[in-house]
Amino acid sequence: MNSQGKDHGNLANRKHPMHGVLFVDGQPIIIFDTVCTKDRSPWLASDAVHQLLREIWQEASAWWMGRYMIMPDHIHFFAAATESTIAFDSWVKYWKSQFTKRHKVPEHRWLTDHWDVRIRNETAYEEKWDYVLQNPERAGLVAKPKDWQWQGVIHDLPWK
């Protein structure tokens, strides 16, 4: 059972993320998250979407957006805790709602949930980014990861 009294059974077989950020003294708080479009609709990979997301992430400063990769139907990103007391889940909901309001395309909807994982060490941080970086190539969208134009960094999030 977790701290809310919920029994999540075998965590290895769970189908939904168990949200909430674990704070460990002496370690940075860096989260790896994946946010998907509703029904995995492929509308994200465009210059207009990329620009609007960058603007919103810069404004939504309760958490710092680090490196990100925008795929046609999902976004992978790293975020770090700031001094804010805003919960990570609330921050994700906030920037998704801001995007929806400003984008004004009713058919472009987000999946309600998202999948987040706390990065536990520098090696895991780099391994996750290497995996994310290869996504466009694995999907057959580009020959080399650097050719995928819908990726970037808002804040540099060093491990230490």
Q: Residue 20 domain-assigned?
A: no
In a domain, 83, yes or no: yes
User: Which residue would you say has higher pLDDT here, 109 or 120?
Assistant: 109
Is residue 8 one of the residues assigned to a domain? no
Classify residue 66: in a domain, yes or no: yes
In whole angstroms, how far apart are CA 1 and each of 5, 16, 19, 101, 107? 5, 16, 14, 38, 39
Computed over every residue of the chain, the mean pLDDT equals 86
pTM of the model: 0.83
What percentage of the chain reaches a pLDDT higher than 70? 83
Q: How many domains does the chain have?
A: 1
Write out the residue range of the structural domain in which residue 127 sits: 27-153
Residue 17 in this model has a pLDDT that exceeds 60 = no
**CATH number assigned to the domain comprising residue 92:** 3.30.70.1290
Euclidean distance between CA atoms 92 and 129, whole angstroms: 20
Task: Name the band, by pLDDT with cuts 50, 70 and 90, for residue 47.
Answer: very high
- Quote the pLDDT of residue 93: 96
List the beta strands (DSSP E) in the chain. Answer: 30-37, 63-70, 74-81, 110-118, 151-153
Region 111-116 average pLDDT: 90
DSSP of 56-100, one letter per residue?
A: HHHH-TTEEEEEEEE-SSEEEEEEEE-S----HHHHHHHHHHHHH
